[in-house]
Amino acid sequence: MKKFKRTTVTAALPYANGPLHIGHIAGAYLPADTYVRFLRQRGEDVVFICGSDEHGVAITLGAKKEGVSPKQFVDKYHALMQKAFVDFGIGFDIYSRTSNATHHETAREFFTNIYNKGIFLEETSDQYFDEQEQIFLADRYIVGTCPTCGHANAYGDQCEKCGTSLSPKQLINPRSTVSGKTPVLKPTRHWYFPLNLFEEWLKEWIVEGHKDDWKINVYGQCKSWIDQGLQPRSITRDLDWGVSVPLPDATGKVLYVWFDAPIGYISATKELKPDGWEKYWKDPETRLIHFIGKDNIVFHCIIFPAILKAAGDYILPDNVPANEFLNLEGDKISTSRNHAVWLHEYLADFPGRRDELRYVLTSISPETKDADFTWKDYQQKVNSELVSIFGNFVNRVMVLTWKYFDGRVPSEEELAGTTEKRIKILDHYKKAHHDLNEAVGEMIHALNDFRFREAQFQLINLARIGNKFLADTEPWKLAKEDMEAVGSILNYAITIVGNLAIACDPFLPDAATRLRKQLNSTSFDAKWKQFWVKEQLINAVPQHHQLGQPELLYKNVEDDEIEKQIAKLRKPGMEETKPVSALKPLKPEISIDDFSKLDIRIGKVLTAERMEKSNKLLKLTVDTGSDQRTILSGIAQHYTPEEMVGKQVTLIANLAPRKMMGIESQGMILMAEDVDGKLRLLIPVEAVSPGSTVS
């Protein structure tokens, strides 16, 4: 294997259109962080790069929906994600963002560099244009009637009903999903990156060169792509949000997100090390590792490397350990259905319990196939492994040492095998020592191979072996007859605890800190490094060293804690089995004049809070376009205040004000009532401006 001087580790740039959930963490950030911690423990030169991916149509549309500018939109999510990462303890050297100046510059330089080499293709074609919004529409933002099956809402790339693939021009009566209007065809010019020219090179580099060292899922996906034959990919878009194309006649053109986003790794490194960044990207003695989810394989293994190759001078990823996906309680994680465990919410609900989440996510890490996170599993793993095996072992050793030696590490002189009992102890010691070294070796080996599940298992194995060593040698019994033997046993037990403190750093950083405190070992750094160099047990805590006070490392997860979390996932009212009421009869006929008396409008919820002493009412502040008013709405059992904020709602604006529970309600929110009594909001399919009338 090639020797490298340093390592550049990147973790996929999260898209700045929503908060982070455990799927993101398990997929890329946690394995990356674990790996980087491991490298740092070994004293290696490593940079750990990440940042928010802030461009693309989805951002502009998301911003429009929230009624804010794209910049405000990404500012919000960038801040949210950055804070969550920091709070969770993911140790990026830099968490940057693609909307900043350094990145724009870097991405433009990349484009210009490759452009000047004459590699890009340039082509003009007709594309649908939304005249009202003044934007060209991506395929999936166009709907229309499917030419094959007649389905009225087929997307521009595929009909969901009959499954045929389409191009937008095949759609009958195309409509823009952004404005609802009929788009028109307009010629537009774009630049293309000729991936096909890199096919042979990619074949050699990946299919031949990385057959054995890349994960099979990654390799298979790449090979499949390359075998299919590669096509030029367009790398520009008509949009006013993004990195503008650095050509004189290219106003209104930006780089396509997938072109600029991976370059974000480089810009972030530049920002981190304005003078020294190049050696992390251009020195062949640097190893580049991308941690990503499986949806990103083709960008990181094929397209981005080809771009780097085209740019010249750059190193290529040495490995791309992509993970599969994480499910939640048997279902796909879904932002829109709120079927997710949000990182910032976990951190708020479980303060001081970051290791627990790390531990569980690593133990089910989707390394070879999709995995499933369940709260029950979380509880069981924490309680039976972290608490019972790891935490308990440390606690037993600490307590025993305080009990018999006042917290001073007993001397480590070798025990003379003078009695039968002592001979047995020596046997147990030898066995434990052998098993421990094997586990340490296997742990480090697995870390090198990105097999974090296995590595962490071996870590816990150290505690398992430690527990067995104590059970086998029974120092609490010997205390009555042979204190020298007790001292020898505990000295070794403390050695195990010390090595655990060292070894758990990449996986359980908070435990590492707590253990250092308990062992009173903050000054042992230089010595402890030896563990990672020798790859075997070291004499971590010297004899006669005074230990700190024992403290429990972890506490059990109680039933009610996870029940709360599980309840959070369910839609309100979903588990209630109410009798299905009959459809309500039609009301008597009215005239159009009756109807026109109603002033129905679209408003936007600015704030929402529960009403005191009411289990049905939410107090909402609603922007009706012309004013902001307070409306009390009896929907508290169907929507949480958090869910309501930012939502568009349909309301009756000219209803006479009415006092409820001491507060005046100035209007009424319209709701659909399902046959089971469940209330659902009426929301315009596409966002409209507050104050829009309904008729």
Site string for RNA, 148-187 (x = CB under 7 A): ----------x----xxx----------------------
- Of 52-60, 187-195, 464-472, 611-619, which segment contacts RNA by CB under 7 A? 464-472
In the complex, the smallest distance separating the C-beta of residue 162 from RNA, rounded to whole angstroms, is 9
Q: Which helix (H) or strand (E) holds 104?
A: helix 101-116
Q: What angle do CA 503, 508, 513 make, to 5 degrees?
A: 80
Question: Which of residues 170, 188, 392, 621 is near RNA by CB under 7 A?
Answer: 392
Question: Which of residues 114, 119, 371, 497 is near RNA by CB under 7 A?
Answer: 371
- Of 84-92, 169-177, 263-271, 454-462, which segment contacts RNA by CB under 7 A? 454-462
State yes or no: residue 321 binds RNA (CB under 7 A): no
- Looking at the DSSP assignment, which residues form a beta bridge with residue 49? 10, 94
Of 5 and 376, the one with the shorter C-beta distance to RNA is: 376
Of 221 and 666, the one with the shorter C-beta distance to RNA is: 221
State yes or no: residue 217 binds RNA (CB under 7 A): yes
Of 281 and 452, the one with the shorter C-beta distance to RNA is: 452
Q: What six digits make up the tokens of 459?
A: 């870590």
In the range 548-607, which residues lie near RNA by CB under 7 A?
A: 552-556
Q: Is residue 12 within 8 Å of residue 55, measured between CB atoms?
A: no
Please report, as a single letter, which amino acid is at residue 121. L
Residue 467 to residue 461: CA distance in whole angstroms? 10
In the complex, the smallest distance separating the C-beta of residue 364 from RNA, rounded to whole angstroms, is 5
In the range 281-310, which residues lie near RNA by CB under 7 A?
A: 294-295, 298
End-to-end alpha-carbon separation of the chain, Å? 71
State yes or no: residue 427 binds RNA (CB under 7 A): no
Question: Which of residues 55, 270, 353, 381 is near RNA by CB under 7 A?
Answer: 381
Question: Which of residues 227, 481, 559, 642 is near RNA by CB under 7 A?
Answer: 227
State yes or no: residue 234 binds RNA (CB under 7 A): no
In the complex, the smallest distance separating the C-beta of residue 73 from RNA, rounded to whole angstroms, is 23
State yes or no: residue 391 binds RNA (CB under 7 A): yes
Question: Which of residues 115, 192, 314, 325 is near RNA by CB under 7 A?
Answer: 325
Of 34 and 648, the one with the shorter C-beta distance to RNA is: 34
- Cα separations in angstroms, 548 against 123, 386, 401, 537: 71, 21, 11, 22
Q: Are strands 693-694 and 600-610 parallel, antiparallel or unpaired?
A: antiparallel
In the range 618-647, which residues lie near RNA by CB under 7 A?
A: none
- Of 53-61, 169-177, 383-391, 677-685, which segment contacts RNA by CB under 7 A? 383-391
In the complex, the smallest distance separating the C-beta of residue 468 from RNA, rounded to whole angstroms, is 4
Site string for RNA, 400-419 (x = CB under 7 A): x--x----------------
Crossing angle of helices 392-405 and 452-473, in 10° steps, is 40
Q: Which helix (H) or strand (E) holds 379?
A: helix 375-381
User: Residues in contact with RNA, total (CB under 7 A)?
Assistant: 63
Q: Is 344 exposed, middle or buried (0-12, 13-18, 19+ CB in 10 A)?
A: middle
Question: Which of residues 17, 102, 319, 395 is near RNA by CB under 7 A?
Answer: 395
DSSP 27: I
Residues whose CB falls within 8 Å of the CB of residue 689, separated by 6 or more in sequence, listed in order: 67, 602, 625
b/e sequence 184-213, b meaning 16+ C-beta within 10 Å: eeeebebbbbbbeebbeebbebbeeebeee
Question: Which of residues 76, 83, 151, 223 is near RNA by CB under 7 A?
Answer: 223
Question: Which of residues 268, 470, 632, 644 is near RNA by CB under 7 A?
Answer: 470
Q: What six digits make up the tokens of 219?
A: 């390799």
State yes or no: residue 338 binds RNA (CB under 7 A): no
Question: Which of residues 3, 212, 248, 369 is near RNA by CB under 7 A?
Answer: 369
Q: Is residue 113 within 8 Å of residue 159, measured between CB atoms?
A: no
State yes or no: residue 472 binds RNA (CB under 7 A): yes
Please report, as a single letter, which amino acid is at residue 681. L
Residue 326 to residue 458: CA distance in whole angstroms? 23
Crossing angle of helices 525-534 and 483-503, in 10° steps, is 80
φ, ψ for residue 44 (rounded to 5)?
Answer: -80, 155
State yes or no: residue 224 binds RNA (CB under 7 A): yes
HSE-up of residue 2 (Cα within 13 Å, Cβ side): 12
In the complex, the smallest distance separating the C-beta of residue 503 from RNA, rounded to whole angstroms, is 17
DSSP 295: G
Site string for RNA, 70-109 (x = CB under 7 A): ----------------------------------------
State yes or no: residue 226 binds RNA (CB under 7 A): no
Residue 66 to residue 163: CA distance in whole angstroms? 32
Q: Is 674 exposed, middle or buried (0-12, 13-18, 19+ CB in 10 A)?
A: middle
Residue 64 to residue 54: CA distance in whole angstroms? 15
Closest CA to 504 of 362, 319, 291, 351: 362
Residue 586 to residue 36: CA distance in whole angstroms? 66
- Of 187-195, 469-477, 605-613, 671-679, which segment contacts RNA by CB under 7 A? 469-477
Of 217 and 630, the one with the shorter C-beta distance to RNA is: 217
State yes or no: residue 467 binds RNA (CB under 7 A): yes
Of 340 and 635, the one with the shorter C-beta distance to RNA is: 340
What is the contact surface with RNA in residues (CB under 7 A)? 158, 163-165, 216-217, 220-221, 223-225, 227-229, 294-295, 298, 324-325, 332, 363-372, 377, 380-381, 384-385, 387-389, 391-393, 395-396, 399-400, 403, 453-454, 457, 460, 464, 467-468, 470-472, 476-477, 552-556
